Chains A and B, each alone.
Chain A
Amino acid sequence: MSWLIVGTVPREDFPLYEGPCLLGNRRLHLGDHAVSIARGTPALLAAACIASRALGIEAPQTLVCGDIGRGDGSSLVYRHLSERLHTLSPELIVYHYLQPDVDWHNRVHLRTEDLERKPILIADAGYMYVAKMSGLASCYDLFTPDAGELAFLADETAPHPFYTRGFILQEEDRVPELIQWAYEHDDASRFLLVKGRCDVVASREGVLERVCDPCVEAMEPIGGTGDSLTGIVAALIAAQHPIPHACCLGARLNRVMGLLAKPSPASSIEDLLHSLPEALDREASAGF
């Protein structure tokens, strides 16, 4: 399955890049550029590259640009995508750290609607925010929120997680209720993977699966563990696993990766990703 990962690189000077990504020694190679895999979309890309190698599928194509929050790089990505989507025509698109912009989102959405074959759509981070904000969440196949972001999806009035109303408590034991609220207002994708102490896979019908083991408490504060999970799940979907199964398997792999890495709350995602190949080997021998 052809797949494309769309996001940003946390550098001001990184130009618009569309093409393959290769994972080298602790660096991600995007054309002539090498970037750190310590956080953000590069961390997701690194996880996707490792997982695709283990699964024997093609590595993802990528579309990224430097953006440190001003939105300039995101605008270039949106523009490029809306102009080139019909040519790229991937079967799976993963959207990640992009500045939420409803107008640009809707332009890209219209181009997606024009494609002969509708791609599978995964949205995480800023693009999940804007997908919800646009009122088009149900056009997506998978969102990957954490508990706080699920509360944002459940609050039909919130334009950003920062404005989630206080009475919608972001407590993990309320996850099933918040999932239901999100679907009631059509603010959720076809499937949800809610990241937390237990990862929860859900659809409009409710909770489908929970993945609670192994539990590695220290992973919660580590920036990028959600990005790695999204990258692994995307690779599994690109390898033709059904979405709910890919979510369960990806959640388990991400946790095993954490277990093997023996992290502390001061570890980085880069430290953890070194253990992903072993986690994939172990789970493969267990017969996924």
Chain B
Amino acid sequence: MGRKLLLDKAHVENIRTYDVYRREGGYRSVEKALKSMSPDAIVEEVKKSGLRGRGGAGFPTGMKWTFIAKPEGVPRHLVVNADESEPGTFKDRYLMEFIPHLLIEGMIVSSFALGSNVSYIYIRGEYAWIVDILEQAIAEAKQNGFLGKNILGTGFDCEIYVQRGAGAYICGEETALIESLEGKRGNPRIKPPFPAIKGAWERPTVVNNVETIAAVVPIINEGGDEYAKIGIGKSTGTKLISACGNINKPGVYEIDMTISVEEFIFSDDWCGGIKNGKRLKACIPGGSSVPILPANLLLTTAKGEKRLMNYESLSDGGFATGSMMGSGGFIVLDEDQCVVRNTYSLARFYRHESCGQCSPCREGTGWMEKILWKIETGNGKISDIDLLWDIQRKIEGNTICPLGDAAAWPVAAAIRHFRDEFEWHVLNADECLNKNYGLAHYADPIAVPQTV
């Protein structure tokens, strides 16, 4: 097992309390950063580390930080995205629940680097008990001089506030999140202007994922170069993966991005293999929005190489034969699972979560849900499969925010790789009500499609 940088201490008894966290070396990065580094030097370390945003898009964090505008006299803000609503994803919850001070520590350093004197954590409303945990950690940090006025005598002031959302996946999208923080409906904004120029209350704002900000702590403690030595290529450092579905050991794992997908699924160190002795059928490796892959393409790339658990390898082959790292929500389907039903369930999710501003997304998600339901319940036609394909093509790229793409991709990938399963549902209308199509993709690896 590789090194852990974030969850290493997560199970030390009482690590949630300031005293234990501090005794275990907590808040060292704040002392180092505030007392011996300039904000620019911190940004430089983060750049060197190669850290990529852990919220889903994988954008280099250091670079994002250099975009923040610094108009004279205008306050700037750091907002941590703890909305975590992408199906399959529950890693930020784990981090905040077990080691809340790590997030607070990372936020203080990041706030200093960005010049944010008031920073926010926007957390999904359902994580109500985690709000209490975070507020307790913030209060303790403040009592001990790590938050508030003149932190450690350095002249830097910083407050952190927690705001609860109220049940809306779209508020994870950064401009919708900002709207919500301002007390409005979560309708994404048209970009530009980007939040780094005009974000919350028209002030320059950086929105980063919980895990991204937590990773700043080891980066500052060990240096960006040391951090970059862990991992492979442009996948530096460690990544939290939340594994779920039909596996023996669901949970949150910190990996160093050098292990193979096969090892991750089957080794007892990680997922422990498929539940109930079944076989692996398919997997959605990075949260519900990323393309589903059949077992054969999941374990090896189209070039025949072992697929690894990192950004480059998971996306190898593009959407024709690959997928994405996304948010790290790893959803495994066993041989008994029905791809049509699973796709229907996700389509319903996106229809429910569409904010309704753009017609392709608002109407298209509803259509896809209805057609998938028809096929799943044995009322579909072969032409419905083509219609589905057509609808998803018309959504992708034609909307204000990426939720449209996120809704289109799962449907596209399901048809691309499991078209025969959709056809089987149409042709076996009675049987498909109580039986799934089954194993074919594992037993007989399918030919690699030539085109998208």
Please determine whether chains A and B interact with each other in the same assembly.
no
